[in-house]
Structure 1
Amino acid sequence: MLKTSFLAAFAFFCCLTLNVSAHDTWIQINSPIVRTGEVAHVDLRLGNHGNHHRDFKLAGLLTLDWTSMEWISPSGERADLKPDLYTSASAEKQGYWTTPVTLDEPGVHLFVQKLDRVMNHGKSIRSIRTSKAFVICSPTLDNISIDSHSHSTPAGLPFELVLHQCPVTDIEVGQPITITVLHNGEPLANALVAFIPEGETLTGDTDPDHEFTTGTDGTVSFTPSKATRYLIAAHHTAMDEKSTDYEFTSYATTIALQIPNRVFAQPAK
């Protein structure tokens, strides 16, 4: 009886470990644009596991032990946000991490997260999960002057998405969004990128309206047909990246974007 209970508990633990390793992370911010001196609420979330990593839903609280969280200002100064994170739920392992950040410097503020952990559940796997998000800080919300464009500059992550358009002055319904997938700083061809509208279910093994494969330059484009929040997610399995500690490396990376009916603001002339 005790042996059976132990085996059942062990099997449950293994399944739980597998599920956690397979989840994605993303950074979600309450507003893509903030007036100088005001607060942006920065959330670190875990989920997007169902429907072949295409559901954009929460799946419990991320363990921070193997995770870093940074805030990079327009001038390039870095701040560690991990000590400032607190949970949104009273129940253990529920909700998500969040923290308010006051933005004083005009320009594009970049938030970057990285998880790097070796998991063992029958096979030893190195799991790398990264995410990025952007907030524009401006003295006025009507005419925005942007001196730096960190949205189009790689953050130096082992696996990341690079956004070609400014998330505030260039993105709107009916206009294409272009993304480049980088693996160790180089464009990754034949990578499947999903553009997941919040609250919608992608269809089939590959949804032709929301999933696209990168070309030789690592780039894909998607034209949103509705205004909502989208999770852009890419995955890559590197069977050749192994060591004595793990058999292969599993990558995932995301950007969460608000897509408006019209651009949030016009650039300053």
Structure 2
Amino acid sequence: MTMMLTFPRFLAPLCLLIVPCLGSAHDVWLQTDSPIVRTGENVQVDLRLGNHGNHHRDFKLAGRVTVDWVSLDHRAPDGTRNDLRKQLFATASAEKEGYWTTPIAVSQPGVHCVVQSLQRVMNHGRPVRSVRTAKTYFLVADSLDSASVDQPIHSQPDGLPFELVLQSCPISETVVGRPITVVVLHHGKPLPDVVVSFIPEGQELSGEFDPEYEVRADDRGEANFVPDVGRRYLIVAHHKAEDERTDEYDYTSYASTITVHVANQTPWAMGN
């Protein structure tokens, strides 16, 4: 901070631009307060920034993303989309603390998806194009005791430049002891040999590669993980594309996340 105050006055606006850009090197993720809500009630959706420590595997907050940089859509079961950005409010008064959040009143039964995307060119000594995408899901049901999943929208790609696509239902199949399967897509095609981390909230991964919580995608871009504890999980993958460069940036840095609630047991009579 002292160094910034000694800069010439004409550099101050530039500093204000650079500092927020550094935040976009972190990962962005979405999460809800519950994986299932009753029709007509609210679900709380958070837009969070962090996961920067421990080789991008700590599931901890690290600032607040600039809303103007992101697209944030709520996708209903019938395919309609709603831009959530104008509904967001901050949870902290300091500009870069806390996170963004908003309640969504939901009236359409079925599986809902929230999708985020961000693309920025920033400079860490080298100009880098940073692409960050995120998803989360929740189920709306008339009765919490007899909820059902009729349309598996989770397995449909969203056409993002880099994304994780769940092959397991994020509602009925994210249960302790059952495998969670994701596919890594780069420009719509499976990307093999990418490390996918499955981070339980509150758990710190060890080493450069933690075999207990990390899986390398196979030739089909597929990664499988069996959770052994029920809690919220951050699923995250990164990819550095040295060949994706222009005169404006030297390479492209990708990150994609999905946040799921893993239950100790399936608490509802789920149908398909």
Q: TM-score range by the shorter chain?
A: over 0.9
What is the letter of the counterpart of residue 201 of structure 2? E
Offset at residue 65 of structure 1 (A): 2.2
Question: What is the distance in 2 between the residues matched to 1:162 and 1:17?
Answer: 29
The answer to whether structure 1 residue 6 and structure 2 residue 7 are counterparts is yes
Distance 1:131 1:53 in 2: 15
Match of 2:105 in 1: 102
Aligned residue for 1:89, secondary structure, equals coil
Partner of 2:264: 261
**What whole-Å deviation, never above 9, does each CA across 1:172-227 have from its counterpart, x for those lacking one?**
11111111111111111011100111111101110010111101100011111111
1:60 partner SS:
coil
Q: How far did 1:61 drift?
A: 0.9
Unaligned runs of 5+ in 1: none
Aligned to 1:237: 240
- 1:15 shift after superposition: 8.5
Other structure's SS at 1:129 match: strand
The alignment of Structure 1 onto Structure 2 pairs a total of residues equal to 268
CA contact (8 A) 1:18 1:121 kept: no
**Distance (Å, rounded) in 1 between the aligned partners of 2:237 and 2:211:** 15
- 1:80-131 superposed Cα distances (whole Å, 9 cap, x missing partner): 0011111011222110000000111111111000011111232111100000
> What secondary structure is seen at the aligned counterpart in 2 of 1:167?
coil
TM-score by length of 2: 0.92
- Kindly report which structure 2 residues correspond to 1:134-153, keeping only aligned pairs within 5 A, or say none: 134-153=137-156
Change (3 A) 1:167 1:6: same
* 1:24 counterpart residue number: 27
- Which whole-Å CA distance do the structure 2 matches of 1:65 and 1:59 have between them? 18
Would you identify which runs of 4 or more consecutive aligned residues in structure 1 move more than 6 Å? 1-4, 12-15
For 1:74, the equivalent position in structure 2 comes to 77
Deviation at 1:19, TM superposition (A): 4.1
Measured against aligned partners, the alpha-carbon deviations of 1:31-80 in whole angstroms (never above 9, x if no partner) come to: 01111111100000000000000100001111122211001100000110
The percent of aligned pairs where both chains have the same amino acid is 50
Task: Name the counterpart of 2:48.
Answer: 45
- What is the aligned partner in structure 1 of residue 197 from structure 2? 194
Q: Which runs of 5+ in 2 are unaligned?
A: none
Pair 1:129 & 2:132 matched: yes
C-alpha separation in 1, matches of 2:19 and 2:3: 21
Shift of 1:238: 0.7
Q: 1:52 is paired with a residue of what secondary structure?
A: helix
Change (3 A) 1:227 1:146: closer
**Do the aligned partners of 1:108 and 1:146 also contact (CA within 8 Å) in 2?**
yes
Shift in CA distance, 144/93, structure 1 to aligned 2, threshold 3 Å: same
Q: Which amino acid aligns with 1:249?
A: T
Q: TM-score if structure 1 supplies the norm length?
A: 0.93
1:246 and 1:105 map into 2 onto residues whose CA distance is 43
The secondary structure found in structure 2 opposite 1:151 is helix
Contact persistence 1:106–1:146 (CA under 8 A): no
What CA RMSD, in Å, does the superposition of the two structures yield over aligned residues?
2.3
The one-letter code sitting in structure 2 at the alignment partner of 1:258 is H
Match of 2:160 among 154, 157, 160: 157
Q: Distance in 2 between matches of 1:196 and 1:163?
A: 16
Q: Secondary structure at the match of 1:143?
A: coil
